[in-house]
Amino acid sequence: MKQRAFVLAAVFAVWGACLHVSAAAAADHTANAAAGMNSQRDIVLAVANPIEPPATHAGSSLLGYAPTGYYGAGQRAVSTLNELKQSYGLHEVAGWPIKALGVYCVVLETPPGMVRDDVLKQLAKDRRVQLAQPLQDYAVYADATPAPSTQQYNDPYVNLQRGFVETDAAMAQRMSQGQGVHIAVVDTGADLTHPDLQGRIHDTHNMVDDDASAFDRDHHGTEVAGVIAADADNHKGIVGIAPKAVLSVYKACWYAPSSGGAHCNSFTLAKALAAVIDTDARIVNLSLGGPADPLLDKLLAQLLEQGRIVVAALPPDGSLGGFPDNAPGVIVVRTSETSTAPPNVVSAPGKDILTTQPGGGYDFTSGSSMAAAHVSGIAALLLAVAPKLDAASMREVLLRNSKMSGGMLQVNAAAAVAALREKQASP
């Protein structure tokens, strides 16, 4: 009897190991497939993915032998997906578990000759389906081509930083430098070897592919990271708004060979947001946007419910209603150079912003992406002073302490930090 139990346990252990090998292989397949997904053709579908807790007795279910922390595709999810793919003639492009929602999410390719909207209508009526929607495209909000380049710090380019100077960041940093505040940057990759970013980026996560060199060559994420947290007093380059903050970079967007700007999709962004949910990041910078999306909206709602400060860039056309600017609680940021803005939208410098570039360089760039990065940095300064500050209070502090600069109303880091410190000191 003991020998039989030993054999069964060994078999289950081997099967469990196979599950993990398959999960790792699936993750690699997902990463490689992201850039090849087609937003005109593909579907995002989610099915329930309950995972039973590990059992403590022999003869339990196969998944009961999965090590602690494992969350992949459960037997129910696998069976349901196989049935759906067979029923509707769909081909799986990639799949990924979303633990926060208790689902397994896949990108499916509609077969030739079938209209995607018709398939989605059928899937919406299928009780086995938790969510079915089009795969959608998103873009970062920065100029594709950088604009031409025309104390208390030893960083040589600090006086050329419009945003840093106009928001009085140097004065704010006498009171706070964002010490220890954790910021998740969901964007493209970033240059981890840049002299102004070394030590500022704590960890990275590639949700698009497994090309490390492409990660380091990505412009947009490098630019955003530099605005937020470039190192100070290192005799190099520029100074970030919050130079003592800690960054986690989640690559969910990539540069297509035929396009000058970076793009993302529902699937890669969902993977990134789901990963952020499992961290202690207090600020989430989303310098990107696109259409409203049910899956992304669910994940964003969880982040907001957890008390995260989510900072988003206003779309170039100035409209609200898409992802991520449509969610109540998100701090939406426009460039202060814009003439008009919807109510409660924060204004920050976004034109001709000097920041870090791949390969250890620096250049000027523009867009609401950079404006949002300034606000994420200021948010870190404020959280270092008042760690329990919520999103509504954060927006109020930013708006109430905005100042005119060059004829434009925009956030002021020094005024906001000083006001918050005064409030904290009051009995």
Q: In this predicted model, what pLDDT tens digit does every residue of 274-325 receive, in sequence order?
A: 999 999 999 999 999 999 999 999 999 999 999 999 999 999 988 899 999 9
E-assigned strands of 71-200?
91-98, 103-109, 131-134, 137-140, 182-187
Q: Say whether pLDDT at 95 is over 50.
A: yes
On the 0-12 / 13-18 / 19+ scale of CB atoms within 10 A, 230 is buried
Q: What's the whole-number mean pLDDT along residues 64-91?
A: 77
Q: In this predicted model, what pLDDT tens digit does every residue of 376-399 receive, in sequence order?
A: 999 999 999 999 999 999 999 999
User: What are the angstrom distances between the C-alpha of 260 and each of 143, 399, 402?
Assistant: 9, 34, 34
Q: Say whether pLDDT at 116 is over 50.
A: yes
Please list the alpha-helical segments (H only) found in 150-293.
Answer: 162-166, 169-172, 212-217, 219-229, 266-277
User: How many CB atoms neighbour CB 284 within 10 A?
Assistant: 27
C-alpha 403 chain-centroid distance: 29
> Residue 385's pLDDT is what?
96
> Residue 143's pLDDT is what?
67
Domains, the chain, with CATH or none: 37-59+71-135 (3.30.70.260), 140-425 (3.40.50.200)
Q: In this predicted model, what pLDDT tens digit does every residue of 195-250 receive, in sequence order?
A: 999 989 999 999 998 887 889 999 999 999 999 999 999 999 999 999 999 999 99
User: What are the angstrom distances between the C-alpha of 386 and each of 113, 382, 397, 421?
Assistant: 57, 6, 12, 8
Catalytically annotated residue among 176, 347, 369, 402: 369
User: In this structure, are strands 246-251 and 201-206 parallel, antiparallel, or unpaired?
Assistant: parallel
Sign (positive/negative) of CA torsion 291, 292, 293, 297? positive
More confident residue, 406 or 234: 234
- CA dist 45 and 34 (Å) reads 15
Catalytically annotated residue among 143, 155, 187, 325: 187
Nearest residue to 226 (alpha-carbon basis) of 179, 263, 184, 191: 191
Q: Which two tokens stand for residue 181?
A: 């505040």
As a whole number, the mean pLDDT across the chain is 85
Q: Is 187 designated active site?
A: yes
Catalytically annotated residue among 220, 248, 263, 368: 220
* CB contact set of 64 (below 8 Å; sequence gap of 6+): 12, 52, 53, 54, 55
Q: Is 39 designated active site?
A: no
Q: Is 369 designated active site?
A: yes
* CB contact set of 108 (below 8 Å; sequence gap of 6+): 42, 43, 44, 45, 85, 90, 91, 92, 93
Nearest residue to 320 (alpha-carbon basis) of 332, 308, 309, 329: 332
More confident residue, 190 or 31: 190
Q: CA torsion, points 340, 342, 346, 347, in degrees to nearest 10? A: -10
DSSP-derived letter for residue 290 is B
- Residue 201, H or E segment: strand 201-206
